[in-house]
Structure 1
């Protein structure tokens, strides 16, 4: 679990509420149902228009990575690849078949099966790189759904504020209500800017970092599998793959 993400989300919320309190404001001043409907509804609607249903569904399925990122142990992966190379040197590539059958990572399992089937290194690289690039592009498009919402939210917030001001200007006959009415109108702007900069854009960037980390892990697997296919020494493979450790 990524505790830092949770701490950041909570700290951001506390900073806004706490700052409002220190300035003499009340929590009630930040609560406005219509403003929330306008900002959240408008932002999600804009994302619907921009995104395909496939990308939007994928975005919802990977948003959990912000708190629970994919488990990617580069050092453990290197040790696993070195273990595969040792077994291949002792028993040949066919000896990896039993490992392929029980390998939980679908990408690694596919690579091992390609090795066992006797594919040439170039063919192995081409097949695995296509899968890597497609998966990376799919997940980056999903992350951009939140990035797009982060761009729309502040503008939708301004729209909400203007709508509130229109309502206030329509009731100029009662000057005593102008101050509170204007204040309420600008709550929509707070919602839009806060949602974009404290939630949506950070989520998008965190997801992109997870995608790049996952691609790096898979690139390491590809290089390791190619080295095994070319019969490189296990020690040389280990030294080569240690370059992926950051």
Structure 2
């Protein structure tokens, strides 16, 4: 699990609850079933109107990416590419044929298969750049669905509050019921804002951030494949690929 997501959501709920309790409130009272029904499904359905069907389906399939720890490990990928580069430089590209069949990454497998099959570098580069472009577009569309839902949620919270107030004002002859109705109406506003800035909206931004790592790994692999086909020195190729690591990551050469 991605602790930044889990701890972020649970931490936000905890701090809001503590603040409410300190003021004499009860966080449980904010959980209003009617408000949840009005806001959550409506938000997701309304966001479908302006989102491509492929990206709607992908948005829900990508929930695993959001809540699970990223599987992208650039250091391990560089190590793998340099091993393949060393083998190809020593024994020729055809020696990679058996290794390619065992690769766990479809992008890397596709690129190296094209190389082993004797395709020109330009053809390999054009093909894989198209894959990268489509991957980026796909995840951007999926993330946009959640971000759009986050932007829609507060407005629907306002709609829920207005509907609650309309019903509450019909009970002017019973001040107690009217007060309870008004209190219930404002739970819709809280639900909408909370969903937008703690749940749905951040989920979209998290997916966008993680998709950046997926795309960066593909760009790294493309550079590695081109280097292998060129017959670059493995040490030189590794130095180039290490530049794909962020400043927060330490760069360790396997040749040291």
| Fold-level similarity (TM above 0.5) | yes
Is contact 1:30-1:187 (8 Å) kept? yes
* Partners of 1:242 and 1:198 in 2: CA distance: 35
* Partners of 1:238 and 1:28 in 2: CA distance: 55
Q: Which residue in 1 is equivalent to 2:206?
A: 206
Q: Pairwise mapping of residues 168-187 of structure 1 onto structure 2 (< 5 A)?
A: 168-187=168-187
Cα shift readout 1:144-171 (whole Å, capped 9, x = no counterpart)? 1100100100000000000011111111
Give TM-score, length-normalised by structure 2: 0.93
Q: Which residue in 2 is equivalent to 1:83?
A: 83
Cα shift at 1:18? 2.1
Q: Which residue in 2 is equivalent to 1:29?
A: 29
Is contact 2:168-2:179 (8 Å) kept? no
Q: Which residue in 2 is equivalent to 1:119?
A: 119
Is contact 2:48-2:145 (8 Å) kept? no
Cα shift at 1:20? 1.7
Give TM-score, length-normalised by structure 1: 0.96
Q: Which residue in 2 is equivalent to 1:8?
A: 8
Q: Pairwise mapping of residues 1-246 of structure 1 onto structure 2 (< 5 A)?
A: 1-246=1-246
Q: How many residues align?
A: 246
Cα shift at 1:243? 0.4
- Partner SS, residue 68 of structure 2: coil
* Partners of 1:23 and 1:146 in 2: CA distance: 33
Distance 1:218 1:171, change over 3 A: same
* Partners of 1:236 and 1:166 in 2: CA distance: 71
Is contact 2:153-2:193 (8 Å) kept? yes
* Partners of 1:56 and 1:68 in 2: CA distance: 19
- Partner SS, residue 186 of structure 1: helix
Cα shift at 1:88? 0.5
Is contact 1:69-1:210 (8 Å) kept? no
Cα shift at 1:75? 1.0
Is contact 1:165-1:185 (8 Å) kept? yes
* Partners of 2:22 and 2:181 in 1: CA distance: 22
* Partners of 1:37 and 1:204 in 2: CA distance: 21
* Partners of 1:49 and 1:100 in 2: CA distance: 42
Cα shift at 1:104? 1.0
- Partner SS, residue 172 of structure 1: coil
- Partner SS, residue 50 of structure 1: coil
Give ranges in structure 2 of 5+ residues lacking alignment. 247-256
Cα shift at 1:51? 2.1
Give ranges in structure 1 of 5+ residues lacking alignment. none
Cα shift at 1:22? 1.4
Distance 1:70 1:28, change over 3 A: closer
Cα shift readout 1:101-123 (whole Å, capped 9, x = no counterpart)? 10011111001101101111111
Cα shift at 1:210? 0.7
Q: CA RMSD in A?
A: 1.2
